[in-house]
Structure 1
Amino acid sequence: MSDDEKTGQNHIQGLERGLAVLTAFDAERPKPTVAELAAATGLSRPVVRRVLLTLQRLGYVSNLGPRWTLTPRVLSIGQHYTATHALPDLAQPHLMRLADQTDESATLATLDGTEVVYIARVPVRRVLSVTVAPGTRAAAHATSLGRVLLAWESPERIESVLSEAGMPRFTPYTVTDPAEFREILAVVREQGWSMVMNEREEGLLSLSAPVRDHHGTVVAAVASSTSTGRTTPERLREEVLPLLLETAKRISAELGSE
């Protein structure tokens, strides 16, 4: 039997469609209509409606007239991830220590597909306009976390992410040229950390370093984030970078990295 045949036999189309509809709920579509979900997923309206009715019966969505919304039950999916993956729990005290040392937000993220997904975070009271919580996703090319997570990937993996996700421009400063981005990743690999300023949002300044497992593989990235109104890249590099690198080292040691 061919690999394609095996893949077809093991493929559950209904599950794929259900997940597509669930993940179509986002900041741009917090309470979408059936038509909006159909446009976002590429599924027909009758299919989307059947999926929604199934999810409603299971308790994951609720109906608000012509619009639909997620219920708190979807949070249980993320709780199952946390319960079965030690990394967020292992990292949390180290993130808290980093946030206390810097008085800035500390974040842990991994690469999921073509995007960065935040899996742990210790915020500070100051709130930037970018809302970040565990489960939040961001474009990899415009974040220091994403650049760290991609820097140690294979060239084929990097090309796959760039071709699939593209490099959309979020601000006038966002790097959108693939050749320039590859050069940036080479610098990140060489120096062992990444700094990004004004690329995801003007005024946002972040610094990231890699977290490695017992094989030495980069499995996550830790970041300290602030605003350009509070500090400068030079001060961040001088004052926060040593603390960030030590935090990444401590989390890596928890995972068995030497």
Structure 2
Amino acid sequence: MGSTAFEDSADYVQSLARGLKVLRAFDREQPSPSLSQVAERTGLSRAVVRRSLLTLQHLGYVGSQGRSFFLTPRVLELGYSYLTSLDLTELAQQSMEQLSQRLGESCSMAVLDGSDIVYVVRVPVRRVMSVALGVGARLPAFAASMGRVMLADLPDAELAAWLRVQKFRAYTPQTIRTASALKAELLRVRKQGYALVVRELEPGLCSIAVPIRAGDGRAVAALNVGMPYSEEAPVRAVEQILPVLRETQRAIEQAIRRGSWLPHMAMKQVYA
């Protein structure tokens, strides 16, 4: 059943959908919006937003100060439930720590969620981005190395559907910003088995990523190493970091096959 058809069915809970939409209205740009700002961001009426906010406040997920609302730490329970069910993070942690210590660079793992990647494991060495990254952080998949290796793994029909609904933004002058250019890059990533992103998210950042595959061969996550940009960084990434990254990739995939982790526990992709 398509998403629009389901929304017209008796099984669709509109109030739940609206409440989740209100929760997603909070972000780094507007961490403490007013009722009017939430209504503007969600496209919902002020009356609906007011009821949703008051209900979320009653449940402990939202707080208020004056006319502003803010998320409480209780919202972390929602993401934590997902992470604790994802044995992959435990299987990867030790291998990633060893990788980070060996290279002296930050290492991360993420999954694909619609237009974004979501960080599920992070082993930082130093901060290489202006945005603080941690578990639960989101970045645009099209401009991130981990996003590209997972997008490159999508079947052609799913990739075409994904590209049709994307909105591209130029984060730097180097950012790939059209569907046709991104598709060409993804085909190259698919062929070579890794993604190298140089100064596309931030001018001072270079990162390289490989997919993490479950037993059925499907990419269920991605693993990357990020480093400060320099003229030598791209060559170092491919010649020195990539071989070590692939060793860790194989170790994690072997742990997946030995462990109890199930591919269906990865985030389901939905393209509206």
TM superposition score category, shorter chain reference: over 0.9
SS of 1:100's equivalent in the other structure is helix
SS of 2:9's equivalent in the other structure is helix
Q: Give the TM-score taking structure 1 as reference length.
A: 0.94
Distance 1:230 1:22, change over 3 A: farther
* Higher mean C-alpha deviation, range 227-236 or range 107-116: 227-236
Maintained 8 Å contact 2:99/2:245: yes
Aligned to 2:34: 33
Any stretches of 5+ residues in structure 2 without a counterpart? 259-272
**% same residue:** 40
Maintained 8 Å contact 2:99/2:244: yes
Give 1:7 deviation, angstroms.
6.3
**Inter-partner Cα distance in structure 2 for 1:151 and 1:143:** 12
Q: Give the TM-score taking structure 2 as reference length.
A: 0.89
**Inter-partner Cα distance in structure 2 for 1:78 and 1:158:** 26
**Inter-partner Cα distance in structure 2 for 1:165 and 1:45:** 28
Give 1:235 deviation, angstroms.
1.2
Maintained 8 Å contact 1:107/1:122: yes
The Cα offsets for residues 156-213 of structure 1, whole Å up to 9 and x where unpaired, read as 2222222222221111110012222111111111111010011111111000000000
Distance 1:44 1:7, change over 3 A: closer
1:138 aligns with 2:139: yes
Give 1:19 deviation, angstroms.
0.7
**Inter-partner Cα distance in structure 2 for 1:77 and 1:5:** 24
Any stretches of 5+ residues in structure 1 without a counterpart? none
Maintained 8 Å contact 1:196/1:207: yes
Maintained 8 Å contact 2:39/2:45: yes
**Inter-partner Cα distance in structure 2 for 1:248 and 1:101:** 15
Give 1:122 deviation, angstroms.
0.6
Aligned to 2:57: 56
**Inter-partner Cα distance in structure 2 for 1:184 and 1:213:** 24
Aligned to 2:248: 247
**Inter-partner Cα distance in structure 1 for 2:70 and 2:29:** 12
Give 1:249 deviation, angstroms.
1.3
Maintained 8 Å contact 1:82/1:89: no
Distance 1:90 1:114, change over 3 A: same
1:72 aligns with 2:73: yes
Maintained 8 Å contact 2:128/2:228: no
Maintained 8 Å contact 2:212/2:223: yes
Give 1:230 deviation, angstroms.
8.9
Give matches, 1:16-165, under 5 Å: 16-165=17-166
Maintained 8 Å contact 1:147/1:194: yes
Q: How many residues align?
A: 256
Give 1:229 deviation, angstroms.
4.1
**Cα RMSD, aligned residues only:** 1.9
**Inter-partner Cα distance in structure 1 for 2:134 and 2:44:** 29
